[in-house]
Amino acid sequence: MEQSNGFLADYDEQLTPPSSPRQDSPKLDGDDVFASPTTDYESFEEQYDRRSTQRWQYRAIGAGLAILFLIFGTGSIISTTYFSAYPASTSMGECGRTPEQARQNGCIFDLMMSGWTHPPCYDQELSDQFLRENNFAFFRDREGTQQVTEAEARLGNYKFIYTNGTFHYQHYTASNRDEAA
Tell me what percent of the residues of the chain surpass a pLDDT of 90.
Answer: 20
Query: What radius of gyration, in Å, describes the C-alpha atoms of the chain?
Result: 42
pLDDT of residue 6 exceeding 60: no
Beta bridge partners of 115: 110
Provide mean pLDDT across the span 87-91. Answer: 72
What pLDDT score was predicted for residue 7? 47
Q: Is the dihedral of CA 125, 128, 130, 132 positive or negative?
A: negative
Beta bridge partners of 108: 117
* pTM of the model as a whole: 0.47
Whose CA is closest to 47, among 13, 21, 22, 24?
Answer: 13
Q: Are 88 and 52 in contact (CB under 8 A)?
A: no
What pLDDT score was predicted for residue 42? 60
pLDDT of residue 104 exceeding 90: yes
Confidence of residue 164 (pLDDT cuts 50, 70, 90): confident
20-50 pLDDT per residue, tens = 445 555 555 555 555 544 455 567 677 777 7
